[in-house]
Amino acid sequence: MKTTLALLAAGVALLLALPFLLSQGLLNAAIQMLIAALFASAYNLLCGQAGMLSFGHAAYFGVGAFGTVHAMNALGGAGLLPTPLMPLAGAVCGLAIGGIAGWFATQRSGTYFAMITLAIAELIHSLAPHLKGLFGGEAGVSTMRMPAWGFRFGSTTEVYYLTLGWVLLSLALLYLYTRTPLGRLTCGLRENSHRLRFLGYNVHGLGVLVFAVSAMFSGIAGGLQVVSNESANYVVFDPALSAAVVLNTYIGGVQVFLGPALGAALMTFFGYAVSDLTRSWLLYQGILFVLVMMFMPAGLAGLVGTTARLRQRFGLARLLPVMALSIGAALLLSFGGAFAIEMLQRAFSQDYRSLANLQPGGGWPPIQFLGRAWLPLSFATWAVPLALLAIGGLLARFARQRLRTLAQREADTPLAAQAAPLTERTGGAA
């Protein structure tokens, strides 16, 4: 417990110090990471804790965004809702629309529930471009942050601290919710809703409440997005945003409270860092999701917990070789896969084919990658990723065998300890 609190305190201290460590561009990225973390945590209340998989949660993020932008234009950052409190408008809108949508969606469960949430989101996404008075059409709706409480909110640093404050407060409230009897009933929806109904609880009403609370915090995330960008466009209703929050939540890990926040922050940073380097960054994101679901179903946060349990079980000294082999395998497999993907992407791109058509005879010109030219039809070119993948696979196999050996030795130790007294009593006789 003390270790967890120490890590949380260190994390908050690091977040508070970020404006002094990052450039303005990276600070904007940090704001988007915080918003994505809150959105994923709000979604995890519905999906991870209540066990209700929604494919349309971008609807409530978008409703919160447009509710906030209209409140900013109507109130001008004064009165009951000054600029620091503007995300409350997003919370109210998300809660209201989420309650209505949740009443319909929770009439069914499982696949039918997921399809209803998707249908509601698609309905809003289809209507938004046509309701120009409400959603502003293709141009969207613009606004401006107004001074309040002695702050001008004209700098990225002030917006960052405002976003950080709202995200920390929202995460704290979501965590407190999980510690209440209502939070434990929410987990009961996931484990066995029929038993709750048998015990006399209103399962449908509970589902509507959880749906509305999740939508409310999603609306806060949408409101923070508007405060940051000073505009809202119907693009916030795009199904890609709903898909992204599902991916981020499961990559982070739905079984750990801060897992979705971690996954969303890392994947948002991944998008910022990689999108300028390669056109295939969405493919990498999809591959990462598939690998996590196949080999780490508990997510990245679950991997951290598993490593901690293995360290406690085997000791750090015996676990270090396994960790070194695993990290080496992951790096080699990542480099080998990225090399092959980037070469194939360049070889099949329209720009490369146009360049090839300009060559005499329409041959295959060299591909510039990693500071040198690679011949697409040369065995040496493809021997590089094959070698990296092969060595990485071998290291992964050695790491697994090493871990199995440690487990076998641990299992044999109690047997040996039990056999020793018996040998002493029999005088070593067979």
Chosen domain end from 302, 323, 351: 302
pLDDT at position 192 is 84
In a domain, 281, yes or no: yes
Q: Would you state the structure tokens that stand for residue 278, as one six-digit string? A: 């390669």
Output b/e per residue, 199-217; b: 16+ Cβ within 10 A: eeeebeebbbbbbbbbbbb
Residues 271 and 324 in one domain: no
CATH number at residue 52: 1.10.3470
Residue pair 260/175 in contact by the 8 Å Cβ criterion: no
In a domain, 114, yes or no: yes
Q: Average pLDDT by consecutive 10-residue portion of the chain (430 residues)? A: 80 90 87 94 92 91 93 80 90 94 90 92 89 83 84 87 94 93 88 85 91 95 92 88 91 88 90 82 86 83 81 83 90 92 87 76 78 86 92 92 85 59 52
Residues 298 and 319 in one domain: no
- Give the CA distances from residue 158 to residues 16, 163, 227, in Å, rounded to whole numbers and listed in that order: 12, 9, 11
The angle that helices 299-314 and 316-347 make with each other, rounded to 10 degrees, is 150
Categorise residue 362: left if φ over 0, alpha if ψ from -120 to 50, beta otherwise.
left
SS3 267: helix
In a domain, 418, yes or no: no
Helix (H) or strand (E) holding 369: strand 367-369
Map tokens 């939540």 to a residue: 249
In a domain, 5, yes or no: no
Residues 244 and 97 in one domain: yes
The domain total for the chain is: 2
Other C-beta atoms lying within 10 Å of the C-beta of residue 138: 10
Which residue in 35, 42, 308, 261 sits closest to 159, CA to CA? 35
Residues 153 and 283 in one domain: yes
Chosen domain end from 302, 323, 356: 302
Query: CB-based contacts of 345: which residues, under 8 Å, 6+ apart?
Result: 278, 279, 280
Residues 27 and 144 in one domain: yes
- Its sign, for the CA torsion 178, 270, 319, 406, is positive
Residues 189 and 90 in one domain: yes
In a domain, 142, yes or no: yes
* pLDDT tens by residue, 59-112: 999 999 999 999 988 887 667 788 899 999 999 999 999 999 999 999 988 889
In a domain, 237, yes or no: yes
In a domain, 308, yes or no: no
pLDDT at position 306 is 82
Q: Which long-range contacts (CB under 8 A, 24 or more apart) does 237-240 make?
A: 237/58, 237/59, 237/62, 237/121, 237/124, 237/125, 237/128, 238/58, 238/125, 239/55, 239/56, 239/58, 239/118, 239/121, 239/122, 239/125
Residues 273 and 405 in one domain: no
Question: pTM higher than 0.85, yes or no?
Answer: yes
In a domain, 429, yes or no: no
pLDDT at position 171 is 95
Residues 288 and 338 in one domain: no
Residues 105 and 162 in one domain: yes
Task: Tell me the residue range of the domain where 360 lies.
Answer: 315-411
Query: CB-based contacts of 357: which residues, under 8 Å, 6+ apart?
Result: none
pLDDT at position 21 is 87
Residues 95 and 235 in one domain: yes
End-to-end CA distance of the chain: 50
Residues 239 and 377 in one domain: no
pLDDT at position 430 is 41
Residues 283 and 370 in one domain: no
Q: Rounded CA gap, 396 and 312, in Å?
A: 22
